[in-house]
Amino acid sequence: MTDPSGNRRPVLVSFSGIDGAGKSTQIETLHSRLSAAGLQVQRLAFWDDVAVLRRFREFSRSALLKGDAGIGAPAKPVNRRDKNVQTWYMNAFRFFLYSLDAAWLSVVVRKAILSHADVVIFDRYLYDELANLPLRSRLTRSYVRLMLKFVPQPDVAYLLDADPVQARQRKPEYPLEFVQSNRTAYLALSELSGSITVIAPGTPDEVAGNVIQPIEKKLCGSDTLVRRL
């Protein structure tokens, strides 16, 4: 796609949602589909490529909060303690950390825009951090609005909605009560943002079909390309 000045730049796409919502599956499907159409795709993971102070955060999770490491699976559940610890001082620290992440995200996005990619896919975005905050608080909502104005917005931002029970069965890492409240926060954030596309739960093929449609519109400069997608 082109920016307002007529310069070519990649389409920025982000995937967000509760753990177990199927983000990895949809990212793989989209990547394969775009690559098969002859497009250059760059993938960025928020935790690996954007989040700051990762070692400290990992240490805090395991040593200070006494949470399990690793990724939960149906045959091997884990008990993580990080974003589900909702004390006032942890949320205050998140304000600080997420502000640093937002600043670095702006740098990462600028670099991605200058790349030779046709599409840049983010596996999670700042939205996923903001959904960890107590959005019922007026102060928090003001902070979230500030962050949403500060960071570059993706051209297409997806929120993959999912049933909390089914999501937790696929990825057992947090108590069900937290997964439910986290889903509610994501939906509230999508309304607050006004620029997030919520994809309703469905089969992987149904979700993939809903995912590709907004991207086709962004790439509609080439009818041949759209047909190949």
pLDDT computed for residue 1 by the predictor: 67
Residue 94 is part of which domain span? 11-228
Domain-located, residue 5: no
- What's the predicted TM-score (pTM) here? 0.92
Q: Is residue 4 part of a domain?
A: no
In a domain, 168, yes or no: yes
On whether residue 3 sits in a domain, the answer given is no
For residues 142 and 174, the answer to whether their CB atoms sit within 8 Å is no
Give the sign of the dihedral formed by CA 184, CA 188, CA 190, CA 191: positive
Inside any domain, residue 218: yes
The CATH number that applies at residue 145 is: 3.40.50.300
pLDDT tens-digit series, residues 146-178? 999 999 999 999 999 999 999 999 999 999 999
Strand partners, 164: none
Total structural domains within the chain: 1
pLDDT tens-place string over residues 134-153: 999 999 999 999 999 999 99
Helices and strands counted in the chain (H then E): 10, 5
Residue 102 domain-assigned (yes or no): yes
How crowded is the C-beta side of 11, counted as CA atoms within 13 Å? 20
